[in-house]
Amino acid sequence: MCYRRPAAGGPRVSLSVDDRLEILDLAARYNHAVDSGDHEGAAALFTEDGAIEATATGTIAGPAAIADYIGSRPDGWQRRRHFNNNAIIEGVPGDEDAATLAMYIMVLSRRETVLPRLLGRYEDELRRVDGEWRFRRRRIIADADAASGRRAEG
């Protein structure tokens, strides 16, 4: 879903300010839940058919599997901080309960010194369920392993 500007005159669906703020809040709640070790809270932000996709892990589907994945990190997510910026939020033509979110991500490790761990982007598909926005699919695309400075493969 890499963001591409619609062709001139092509479909572009704006969302309300409330929807946009709720979607930004969803992204922030994910970061806080993951960074604090609240794997159940992070998983609750996904739809029942939701999934995380990443080159390093493959596809992790369903809230239970997502909670297990977040809870199984050997170093604990509590030693990391996720930061997002440059969010592009758009509605999906013909579906007022669907949206996309593209944003950059930087993850810092908080050990003896603060070090960058990951640089990349999220490409999210979102769904409104019972009046609340949820992640349907969260793609994590690493641009580089920030600790080594090597570009990500794939």
Mean pLDDT along residues 84-113:
90
Q: Which domains does the chain have, with CATH numbers?
A: 17-151 (3.10.450.50)
Place of tokens 């703020």: 21
pLDDT confidence of residue 150? 56
pLDDT confidence of residue 57? 81
Range with the lowest mean pLDDT among 40-44, 69-73, 84-88, 130-134?
69-73
Neighbours of 15 (CB within 10 A): 18
Residue 101 has pLDDT above 90, yes or no: yes
| Strands 58-61 and 46-54, sheet pairing | antiparallel
Tell which wins on pLDDT, 1 or 28. Answer: 28
Show the DSSP H helices in the chain as ranges: 17-35, 39-43, 63-71
Evaluate if pTM is beyond 0.85: no
Contacts of 89 (CB under 8 A, 6+ apart): 15, 19, 20, 23, 24, 99, 100, 101
CA distance 61 to 48: 9
Buried b (16+ CB within 10 A) or exposed e, 66-84: bbebbeeeeeebeebbbeb
Tokens of 19: 């929807």
pLDDT tens track for 46-94: 999 999 998 778 999 999 999 998 887 656 556 778 889 999 999 999 9
pLDDT confidence of residue 118? 83
pLDDT confidence of residue 130? 96
Range with the lowest mean pLDDT among 67-76, 130-139, 144-153?
144-153
pLDDT confidence of residue 78? 61
**Counting Cβ atoms within 10 Å, is residue 60 exposed (0-12), middle (13-18) or buried (19+)?**
buried
Mean pLDDT along residues 126-145:
92
Confidence of residue 107 (pLDDT cuts 50, 70, 90): confident
